[in-house]
Structure 1
């Protein structure tokens, strides 16, 4: 199959959208499919991507501008006609839109005009972000934009049941469930590291770990309720604009910066409990990575984590905003070694079959479904 991916954000920026595209490209390139990527132009961005199987995948960059306040996030400024030419040049069987908004919105129109079926993968809660950043007046406009993009697509894929239901409630059509895979060969309890543990915490301390972007929507400041708990050491992995504020708020926390690959796997496996504080997660890949590392997880009862965490078995969910529940859940696991070990084993077992090869095969089924739907009843151009 010839698959044209259109990524709203891509390398060198690493985030959930980029990670998903990279994993899928790896899987499909190794299986012999032909791939091309369209992404915003950015300084230092490569024109080719080398996959783990040794294949080169072309990355076609389109003009972009930096997002106000987030210079590393790029807003594509290309138009439909330019995208149409790039897509037609590759002549794909299907368009894959990764977290489509502005670039993806133009790409889906280009796909319609070319008669190419489109699978739109929803990943970012933009309407929720507008409210979190003090712009609730843009929430309705954001949903209108998403409706226009996704209802033009042949299929929309949501990463969790809560997100699927949310999309349907906002009149987005043809929504299906497609979760994310986790690399269980990389994230594993075998990476637990005694020397790293000694570097991060004292012998008597338990480690609460957060991994993710240090931005307002992630609500990392909520970890302050655990920061001063005796016997607890908060470890924060990630980068972002909120880092100076968080350092001042939690001076005892260990800030480890951006980590990836085996280094990230080693940190996760060395944690005692993983806590994700954001309430706007459509999925939350880092929870899966922690669970694959044998670490129980705690998160708000909102969005993607509802599907990932089984309360009283693999971790705990707390009521959004109720930080006393976060403290209680954390204490329940941090200071009960037997319970924590039992939850960790169950967490690992729960993600064993959520590998990227399995999820890539499922996605290929959605591609084929979109192609068939386009042949039977093409959407209006």
Structure 2
């Protein structure tokens, strides 16, 4: 097949959307498909996995390039003649791509990944919440199929009136993120640096942004034998540093590849504080690394954390609950080990290869349905 991928985020920006798109492109190359990519400009590479990458005009918003509608999109799709359009986290650019594909008779698959309405709620834009969902419905109504990463996202989209839905999760690199990494001398040295007296390391990985609510880690202040480690960067770093001032916290910045895998392996407990995750990729990576996970009972984490088996879910805003679970796990090494092993087992069936093969199945489905509709219309 020939797949045109249009994404609101791509390299050099690192986030869940970029990671997912890269994994999809890697898999399309592995399976022998053809692809091309349309991205917002701002330093994007000219090709990825051997596929051409085309940039369109963008403006910067909160350190992210936001793709603007451009007549270039229609021309690129017409010239490439794709069998399917894949729209990753579609907004302005993705909406234009979906509309252009429809006019060209090309079926489209839209992947819902960003909780736009959650952003409006968090910023107390009550009137904007309904508007945000109307925008989501407008964008996704044009797609032949919308894929949501979690049961919570599916329910939100159904309530918003979006039709033609299916669930599609995310894969995890089971080899890179592995419990055996704890035996690596690099990880041993990192642990000595982060917790020189053998303290329990409570770690977070991800963007440091308002929606991640990392300021809530202040609830861990004063816990004996606990060190907090934050991997990532973003616009909320000054606010987080102020909230956690005086606590034993280490900031490692943004990490990728083996450095990121080593960071996970240096943790004893993984904590996520944001309540607006449509999925929660870092929770999967933590589980793959053999870590127990503590996360809010909201959004994607509800599907990823088996309460009391491989971690704990905390009611949103319950800082006392967060502290209590961290304290429990920090003092019970046997419980950490059992939960970490259970987390690893939970993700063994979620390799990127199997998840992306499932995605190709969705491509084939919308392509066959479009072909059948055209046949019946004759």
Per-residue deviation, residues 248-269 of structure 1 (Å, max 9, x unmatched): 2223210110011110001101
5+ residue gaps in structure 2?
A: none
Partners of 2:77 and 2:225 in 1: CA distance: 56
Q: Please say which of residues 200-209 and 282-291 is displaced more in the overlay.
A: 200-209
Structure 1 residue runs of 5 or longer lacking an equivalent are none
- Looking at structure 2, the residues matched to 332 and 229 of structure 1 have their Cα atoms a distance apart, in angstroms, of 11
Q: Deviations over 1:218-261 (max 9, x none)?
A: 00001111133111100001001111221222232101100111
Counterpart in 2 of 1:324? 320
Q: Deviations over 1:147-189 (max 9, x none)?
A: 0111110000000111111111111101101000000010011
Report how many residues are paired: 370
Where does residue 170 of structure 1 map in the other structure?
Answer: 160
Instruction: Tell whether the 8 Å contact from 2:122 to 2:211 is kept in structure 1 after alignment.
Output: yes
Structure 1 segment 1-381 matched on structure 2, within 5 A: 1-42=1-42, 44-49=43-48, 51=49, 56-67=50-61, 70=62, 72-79=63-70, 81-192=71-182, 193-251=187-245, 252-377=248-373
Please give the secondary structure, in 1, of the residue aligned with 2:253: coil
Q: 1:312-347: CA deviations, max 9, x gaps?
A: 100000110111111111122111011110000000
Q: Contact 1:40–1:62 (CA<8 Å) still a contact in 2?
A: yes
Tell me the distance in 1 between the aligned counterparts of 2:262 and 2:123.
33
TM-score (norm 1): 0.95
Paired with 2:69 and 2:222, the residues of 1 have a C-alpha distance of 49
Question: What SS class does the counterpart of residue 172 from structure 2 fall into?
Answer: coil
Report the more deviating stretch, 270-279 or 227-236.
Answer: 227-236
CA contact (8 A) 2:110 2:140 kept: yes
Normalised by the length of structure 2, the TM-score is 0.95
Does the residue aligned with 2:177 lie in a helix, a strand or coil? coil
Dislocated runs of 4+, deviation >4 Å: none
Conservation of the 8 A alpha-carbon contact between 1:313 and 1:343: yes
Query: RMSD between aligned alpha carbons?
Result: 1.4
- Which segment is superposed worse, 240-249 or 3-12? 240-249
SS at match of 2:38: strand
> Which moved further from structure 2: 86-95 or 138-147?
138-147
- Give the Cα separation in 1 of the matches to 2:104 and 2:84: 11
1:203 Cα deviation after fit: 2.5
